[in-house]
Chain A
Amino acid sequence: MLYINCPHCGMRSQNEFSYGGDASVKRPELNKEVSDQEWDDFVYNRKSLRGKHLELWQHISGCRQWIKVERDTSTHEIFRTFKADEKVA
């Protein structure tokens, strides 16, 4: 069982959360000419890092907020959690 420290609600079990994937992926800017390659990278292509991975989770059975979680993909250790709009240093 993973325990995720929701920045809004505190430590909760993974059962309350839903996974949202790589948090480093950025949507191409609005009103800008976007190449096929840029769309491709946004929609499909992923680094899928082994080791430290910054990812999105939604506290779906809690506050329903999206949060960022820094987690190790080979040990499942969770290091830090952030609010969705918080800067990750």
Chain B
Amino acid sequence: MQKYSIFNLVKNAFSNHENWDLAWKDPTPKEEYDVVIIGGGGHGLATAYYLAKEHNITNVAIIEKGWIGGGNVGRNTTIIRSNYMHDENGLFSEFGMDLWRKMSQDLNYNVMFSPRGIINLAHSDAQMNAYARRGNSMRLNGIDAVLLNREQVKEIIPMADFSENVRFPIFGGLMQPSAGTARHDAVAWGYARQADSMGVDIIQNCEVTGFDVVAGKIKGIRTSRGNIKAKKVGICVAGSTNILAEKLNMTLPIETHLLQACVSEPVKPVLDNVVTFGAGHFYVSQSDKGEMVMGGDLDGYNSYAQRGNLPTLQHVLTEGIAMMPFLSKLKMLRTWGGIMDMSMDGSPIIDKTHIEGLYLNCGWCYGGFKATPASGWTFAHTIAQDRVHELNAGYSLNRFSTGNLIDEKGLGTKTWIS
């Protein structure tokens, strides 16, 4: 594989950049693989990469229905953070933060990781107390957290509404300075390019239509491009999890819901951090191009549509304007939607299943993108070793029947409970 470097950039400039290697190949599926990963999104690509890199398993195929990076890894709002209170989520995400910091060097691909900090705003004394508690829990897990008072928040984000007589006055906020953003497409492409170079087959436009399970053991998958035998199969398909589960006669603690995001017209730099509204569900950051990147609540009903509806967008942006009134002056550039695998406790599932050799990675709710490296790393470990790693031990499939839920926010699919 050609290394991306300043030297190669200059060298290729002499041939008008026409002689670069393909970033990844377009192979036809082989008859058999050691591991098949279903889903060529961020998590699937990362899983294949870590299977090859950490476990030396390279006879791997990624089966993608559409094109890689066309699902949620290309539809999210690029936020990376580990500001969780519970150990399971905090330690898992902080492990991911380390991978994020090294990612551009590791993948030889600039993922534009920008640790600009995230601020969760508080709008009452009670919320400040809750944030102090969460911040302390984070620090006990080695995650950076700073509790800001009103004046400190005003210094960092003066454009927020600090006027008198507002419905939700800003009391302060909880900041994780090491959180940030990254370029989401580059993450998918970087993982794909490295996985491909280590021998992983990335098979696009190939839909999984069924599974071959014999005596409780996975034998292979059926696809729109023929049957593929596999010793192990990992399912990593986010919003399509329930569709594949149905083919396996599994019913999962997952509902598929619609989540929208939007960007404004680009403006000059105004917002340095990621900021979230504490009295509702709204978050905003400014992209490198100057667009304000915004998102918030689910549309609220089961959906596979990948396109949203206006009432939710209106509701979310009303919150945004309450928080930062200047947003009302901006024109909307684009809105889009993706389908989320909403788990019932709001935390993910990375686990083995009752079928031998079949592994499940789903339930990412609002936070799939930031989990990409840690999810891939732990899922690769779970598949390669046939046992969960301690980092994803809490993300078990049976926690719903055993009562070991991870109720970080206790949200899941029931958004109206918030």
Residues of A in contact with B (beta carbons under 8 Å apart): 1-2, 13-15, 18-19, 21-22, 36-37, 39-41, 43-50, 53, 55, 71, 73-76
Contact = CB atoms under 8 A, between A and B. Distances in A.
Contact of B304 (A36, A40, A44, A50): A50
29 contacts: A1-B311, A2-B309, A13-B311, A18-B300, A19-B300, A19-B301, A19-B416, A21-B414, A39-B401, A40-B400, A40-B401, A44-B253, A44-B401, A45-B251, A45-B252, A45-B400, A46-B251, A46-B254, A47-B242, A47-B246, A48-B242, A48-B255, A49-B242, A49-B302, A73-B302, A73-B304, A74-B304, A75-B305, A76-B303
A43 B345 CA distance: 11
B242 A50 contact: yes
A6 B360 CA distance: 39
Nearest to A45: B251
B310 interface: yes
Interface in B169-215: none
Interface in B292-339: 300-305, 309-311
A47 B303 CA distance: 12
Contacts of B311: 1, 13-15
B45 interface: no
Interface of B: 242-243, 246, 251-256, 300-305, 309-311, 344, 400-401, 413-414, 416
Contact of B305 (A37, A39, A48, A74): A74
B199 to A, nearest CB: 34
Nearest to B342: A48
B-side interface mostly: mixed
Contacts of B309: 1-2, 14, 76
B301 A45 contact: no
B24 to A, nearest CB: 29
A43 B303 CA distance: 20
Contacts of A49: 242, 246, 302
B243 A50 contact: yes
Nearest to A53: B302
A13, A49, A73: residue with the most chain B Cβ atoms closer than 10 Å: A73
A1, A37, A49: residue with the most chain B Cβ atoms closer than 10 Å: A49
B301 A44 contact: no
Contact of A76 (B253, B305, B344, B413): B305
Contacts of B414: 21
Given A47-B242, A74-B305, A1 B310 contact: yes
A45 B253 CA distance: 4
B344 to A, nearest CB: 5
4 smallest beta-carbon distances between A and B, as pairs: A44-B253, A48-B242, A45-B251, A44-B400
A4 B256 CA distance: 21
Nearest to A15: B311
A39 B301 CA distance: 23
A60 to B, nearest CB: 9
Given A40-B400, A46-B252, 17 more contacts: A1-B311, A13-B311, A21-B414, A22-B302, A37-B401, A43-B344, A43-B400, A44-B344, A45-B251, A45-B400, A46-B255, A48-B254, A50-B242, A50-B304, A74-B303, A75-B305, A76-B309
